[in-house]
Amino acid sequence: MPETPSTPIQAAATRRFLTGGWPWRSAGYLLTTPVTAAVAVGPLAALAGPWAGVAALVLTGAPSDAWTHPALLALLIATGALLFSGGGPLVTLPLAALERRRLRLVDSRPIDSGHRRPPRPGLGAWVRTRYTESATWRELVYVLLLASVLALTALAVLTLAGTVAFMIVSPLILVNEPGPIALLVAQVGTPKEALPFMVVGVAMVPVCGYTFALLAGVHGALARRLLGRGHEELRDELVEVTRSRSRLVDLFEAERHRIERDLHDGAQQRLVTLTMRLGLARLDLPAGSSAATQLAEAHDQAKQLMAELRELIHGIHPQVLTDLGLPGALPGLAERCPVPVTVSTDIPRRLPAHIESTAYFVVAEALANVAKHSGAANAKVNARVDGVLLVVEVGDDGDGGAAPENGTGLTGLADRVAVMSGRMEMSSPNGGPTLLRVELPCDPNSP
């Protein structure tokens, strides 16, 4: 199904352009351009008054003694610069907001302002923010273009449209009123003489439609570039998102270590003490008695619970990962996997804790999938540092056919990797083999 065009230029490439609404929307956009330009001309001309005075002195050939005081000339130029740079944004800010709304006529895509929110309330913070961001000055450039080049271009196109419309209705005009009338460079006095011009006018209608689309599309693209978010704003937002994500990852890791410590030092130690007391209590009861049997069951359940808690603590953050890093922790995962696993690592340095943890749990989940779903006889794990990337590969010789929609936890793995700005790829054709590849940035200087 073809995509719906969002601009006149995109629509002009479709077959139904002339029968759709885009020519009329483009004409409406061009028709209202001189109106908004006229709103801007007055205030901008007032701000440029000192410059206009200097230009008038030059153009009218002022007496030479007017130039014997260069301080006066410099004062006029400096005053104009201060007025224009100080008052210009106050004129362009509301006009830019209006232009972003008017842009919807020729661009259905949403457009956001490039302005930043002031760091705190108050007029002073607002002024400092607005006058130091590039979005304000891009809007000033746009309004200057709107009041000059864009307005004149729109007027020229609309004049052409008016001429074409007059050519089409010229025979009707001559029927009701005697000629002659001027059509292009000719004078016609009868409806019969005006018929060729009417034919030319009708033939020019499609040309006008495409001309409207072209100029309105170019104008809209320029407006989007100057009035929307620029590369600077997007880059700042991306940096802030990256830093925010890094802070969240650090908080998550700290909270996970706290939970692990509380379980290990609190719940596990109390459970160990309880298990020992139950074992000692069994010694004080007669063997084979009902109380001894129940106490033995409670003792066994306590030991089983302690083993489960130990596995839970290990799953939150294995101590071997903290002590030895990824090369020391991966062999332990391989030993617990029921499928024989070959592990190879080439990691010459300790990596950031959140990267090691992510890689560890990716391997753990991948090996769990191998044991449950693959039917493999052998598996392999390879982890290596390649430049600023940690590359982890988990492969098996099983039946293949692994896919995120099959519910094997691959979507969760991809999400975990994406949080670390990493990338996950998988090759698993039917019949195997399967290879999972994960790339994680491990540059210690990255945010």
Whether the bond into 118 is cis, omega within 30 of 0: no
Whether the pLDDT of residue 62 is over 60: the answer is no
The angle formed by the CA atoms of residues 257, 263 and 268, to the nearest 5 degrees, is 145
Q: Indicate the pLDDT class of residue 337, thresholds 50, 70 and 90.
A: confident
Tokens of 407: 């519910």
Distance CA 90, CA 102 (A): 19
Tokens of 277: 């007391």
Q: Indicate the pLDDT class of residue 218, thresholds 50, 70 and 90.
A: very high
pLDDT of res. 380? 93
Cβ(6)–Cβ(108) below 8 Å: yes
Segment among 138-152, 257-271, 295-309, 356-370 with least mean pLDDT: 257-271
Cβ(334)–Cβ(381) below 8 Å: yes
CA atoms within 13 A on the CB side of 111: 26
Distance CA 316, CA 330 (A): 15
Mean local confidence (pLDDT), 2-23: 86
> What is the overall mean pLDDT for the chain?
79
The Cα-based distances of 263 to 9, 35, 169, 275, 391 in angstroms read 63, 71, 89, 16, 32
Whether the pLDDT of residue 304 is over 90: the answer is no
Q: Indicate the pLDDT class of residue 251, thresholds 50, 70 and 90.
A: low
Whether the pLDDT of residue 44 is over 60: the answer is yes
Assign 3-class secondary structure to the chain: CCCCCCCHHHHHCCCCCCCCCHHHHHHHHHHHHHHHHHHHHHHHHHHCHHHHHHHHHHHCCCCHHHHCCHHHHHHHHHHHHHHHHHHHHHHHHHHHHHHHHHHHHCCCCCCCCCCCCCCCCCHHHHHHHHHHCHHHHHHHHHHHHHHHHHHHHHHHHHHHHHHHHHHHHHHHHHHHCCCCEEECCEEECCHHHHHHHHHHHHHHHHHHHHHHHHHHHHHHHHHHHHHCCCHHHHHHHHHHHHHHHHHHHHHHHHHHHHHHHHHHHHHHHHHHHHHHHHHHHHHCCCCCCHHHHHHHHHHHHHHHHHHHHHHHHHHHCCHHHHHHCHHHHHHHHHHHCCCCEEEEEECCCCCCHHHHHHHHHHHHHHHHHHHHHHCCCCEEEEEEEECCEEEEEEEECCCCCCCHHHCCCHHHHHHHHHHCCCEEEEECCCCCCEEEEEEEECCCCCC
pLDDT of res. 86? 77
Supply φ then ψ for residue 230, to 5 degrees: -90, 180
- Provide the residue type at 13 as one letter: A
pLDDT of res. 1? 44
pLDDT of res. 67? 47
Cβ(206)–Cβ(18) below 8 Å: yes
pLDDT of res. 68? 46
The angle formed by the CA atoms of residues 60, 64 and 67, to the nearest 5 degrees, is 90
Tokens of 91: 């004129």
Whether the pLDDT of residue 369 is over 90: the answer is no
Tokens of 164: 């074409």
pLDDT tens per residue across span 397-440: 888 887 766 655 677 778 778 777 788 888 888 888 889 999 98
pLDDT tens per residue across span 161-212: 888 888 888 888 887 777 678 777 778 888 888 888 889 889 998 998 999 9
Distance CA 412, CA 259 (A): 22
Buried b (16+ CB within 10 A) or exposed e, 160-193: ebeebebbbebbeebeeeebebebeeeebeebeb
Tokens of 58: 């030059």
Q: Indicate the pLDDT class of residue 57, thresholds 50, 70 and 90.
A: low
- On whether the pTM is more than 0.85, the answer is no
User: Look-up: residue for tokens 């842009």?
Assistant: 103
Whether the pLDDT of residue 324 is over 90: the answer is no
What is the CB neighbour count within 10 angstroms for residue 270?
10
Mean local confidence (pLDDT), 149-156: 88
Tokens of 225: 């570039």
195 by Cβ neighbours in 10 Å (0-12 / 13-18 / 19+) ranks as middle
User: Look-up: residue for tokens 């080439």?
Assistant: 346
Whether the bond into 352 is cis, omega within 30 of 0: no
pLDDT of res. 216? 92
Distance CA 413, CA 362 (A): 6
Q: Indicate the pLDDT class of residue 217, thresholds 50, 70 and 90.
A: very high
The Cα-based distances of 315 to 260, 319, 320 in angstroms read 9, 10, 11
Portion of the chain with pLDDT greater than 90, in percent? 13
Mean local confidence (pLDDT), 292-306: 77
296 Cβ contact partners less than 8 Å away, ≥ 6 residues apart: 282
Whether the pLDDT of residue 441 is over 70: the answer is yes
pLDDT tens per residue across span 105-151: 999 888 888 888 887 888 888 888 888 888 888 888 898 888 888 88
pLDDT of res. 394? 92
Backbone Cα Rg of the chain: 38
Whether the pLDDT of residue 258 is over 80: the answer is no
Q: How far is CA 1 from the centre of its chain?
A: 25
Supply φ then ψ for residue 352, to 5 degrees: -55, 145
Whether the pLDDT of residue 392 is over 60: the answer is yes
Q: Indicate the pLDDT class of residue 29, thresholds 50, 70 and 90.
A: very high
Q: Indicate the pLDDT class of residue 447, thresholds 50, 70 and 90.
A: very low
